[in-house]
Amino acid sequence: MTLEAQDKQYVLQTYARDYTNFVEGKGSTLFDDQGRDYIDFASGIGVNSVGHANPVLADAICDQARKIIHISNLQVIEPQAKLAERIVKLSGYDMGVFFANSGAEANEGAIKIARKYGETHFENKRYKVITLEHSFHGRTITTVKATGQESFHTPHFSPYPDGFSYEKSIDDVYRAIDDETVAVLIELVQGEGGVQPFDKAEIQALAKHLKKAGVLLIVDEVQTGVYRTGEFLASNLYEIEPDIITLAKGLGGGVPIGAVMTRHKEVLKAGDHGSTFGGNYLSTRAGLAVLDILEELYVSGALAQTHLYFEKKLQEIAASCDDLFEKEVGLGLMRGLRAKSPQIQSAVLKESMAERLIVLKAGRNTVRFLPSLTISKAEIDEGFKRFEAALARVEAQ
């Protein structure tokens, strides 16, 4: 039986898979079972923040696995406490951290914190959460409902939890707030929604208004966090102080981990929330290793140089291929090219894979780039060489 046949017979078919079989990776290069190399500009959808087979991360995982992988959260877990302290200090905010296993779980935790805050801090219960159109917050029933894309709200999974609404713009959020609104949940750069950053001044004004109105600001940094946009958090880049922040993707470098952090440390009490696997020895030890690697890159200035180099390459593509793309978008190493049609977007993804380059799709016809933060200049150069070859094939069609 072939791998493709095995997958189709035994794995639920919830993904439109490519059946290239990768067997090894090094840095931002993957190798398939035929020995062919691929430049990885996707990093597992922003997860492999320190690349494939990073020796520092691999050594930390192996060392921890030989000792303890998991105990329950009924006992203290030393690397969990250390990672929480590290995250809080790097953020610059006075917050407490709860560890989960994914971005969706982190956002579930954030909503629970907000809902309990709305129950305990007001005379009349507040429970409504406002999000934005084109947002994405997860695949659980609650986070799907929080996602501001109607295509996710199919009747197959209804009824959905109530208390969520979606606004077209930041300006519309102001008008939507009522005396039952407890929080506004936003991404500072909408990833799945087209790698679309919000204006800094607009976000700062909203944060100021919400604080005055007593409404919580939740920032979903599942994709933007852990240096992806340049600073440790996009919230740092936007110079705001949210009430709640969620993290996941790049924090474990490939080991599943999620985190919700909040300045309202008193809201959740023992028994209010939990996770069997969340914050175990393996995932938090991996998180500490990832932060060791990325903090050094950030402090040295190497990360900023990589951001600028990658951005310059994309801007050159956008300028030279204006028949295919409207503009270049994004921040840091969370970037995209806005294609002029869905057909162009699909063709670019297909031909890129044919040229052994892995890129991603996102909403609003965007070709998305989420390379590892440790990607080398040589890998960037080779990747864009292959991308230009793929675009030539698209233009010839």
Q: Cα(346)–Cα(336) distance, rounded to whole angstroms?
A: 14
Q: Which residue has the tokens 């001044």?
A: 201
**Chain mean position to CA 96:** 20
Topology match between the domains 3-53+301-395 and 68-299:
no
Dihedral, 372, 374, 377, 380 alpha carbons, nearest 10: -10
Tokens of 86: 């590290």
10 Å CB burial of residue 89 (0-12, 13-18, 19+) is exposed
Helix (H, G, I), strand (E, B) or coil at 37: strand
Cβ atoms of 107 and 220 closer than 8 Å:
yes
Contact in structure between 313 and 380 (CB atoms under 8 Å): yes
Q: Convert 363-395 to b/e letters by CB count within 10 Å (16 or more is b).
A: bbbbbbbbbbbbbeeebbebbbebbbebbebbe
pLDDT at 133: 94
Q: How far apart are CA 222 and CA 137, in angstroms?
A: 9
Model-level pTM? 0.96
Q: Report the candidate in 60, 85, 30 with the shortest Cα–Cα distance to residue 259.
A: 85
Distance in angstroms (rounded) separating the CA atoms of residues 272 and 266 = 12
| Residues 289/253, Cβ–Cβ less than 8 Å | yes
- 3-state SS assignment for residue 141: helix
Per residue of the chain (397 residues), what is the pLDDT tens digit?
Answer: 999 999 999 999 999 999 999 999 999 999 999 999 999 999 999 999 999 999 999 999 999 999 999 999 999 999 999 999 999 999 999 999 999 999 999 999 999 999 999 999 999 999 999 999 999 999 999 999 999 998 999 999 999 999 999 999 999 999 999 999 999 999 999 999 999 999 999 999 999 999 999 999 999 999 999 999 999 999 999 999 999 999 999 999 999 999 999 999 999 999 999 999 999 999 999 999 999 999 999 999 999 999 999 999 999 999 999 999 999 999 999 999 999 999 999 999 999 999 999 999 999 999 999 999 999 999 999 999 999 999 999 999 8
Distance CA 22, CA 33 (A): 6
Beta strands at 22-26 and 357-358: parallel, antiparallel or unpaired? unpaired
In whole angstroms, give the CA distance from residue 329 to residue 190. Answer: 11
In eight-state DSSP terms, residue 335 is E
Q: In angstroms, rounded to a whole number, what is the distance separating the alpha carbons of residues 191 and 134?
A: 9
- Domain edges within the chain: 3-53+301-395, 68-299
String of DSSP letters for 240-270:
---SEEEE-GGGGTTS--EEEEES-TTS--T
Distance, in Å, from the CA atom of 82 to the CA atom of 289, rounded to the nearest integer, reads 11
Query: Looking at the domain that runs over 3-53+301-395, which CATH code has it been given?
Result: 3.90.1150.10
Q: CATH number of 68-299: 3.40.50.880, 3.40.50.11610, 3.40.50.720, 3.40.640.10?
A: 3.40.640.10
Residue 123: partners with Cβ closer than 8 Å, 6 or more residues away: none
pLDDT of residue 397: 87
